[in-house]
Amino acid sequence: MALYDAFGKERIFGRTDVIKALAITPSPASALIKKMLELGLIENVRGLGKGKYRFVVSICKTD
């Protein structure tokens, strides 16, 4: 949720952005990106270099 709050559905992000947003090291950031790709929450963005992603689903928030 913290990543979706930071980047939303429109913003493109990379591993460095995940590291900064969550204050984690590179290894867990890479693992998180890999897991989100496997779950279909994010997709690769072509044409902007390797390792760029965006959310493909809207995450509904409930209070």
Cα separation of 45 and 62, whole Å?
A: 29
> What pLDDT was estimated at residue 59?
59
H/E segment holding residue 44: strand 42-44
Task: Outline where 10-52 has alpha helix (H).
Answer: 15-22, 26-39
Cα separation of 2 and 8, whole Å?
A: 10
H/E segment holding residue 4: helix 2-7
> What pLDDT was estimated at residue 8?
85
> What pLDDT was estimated at residue 10?
83
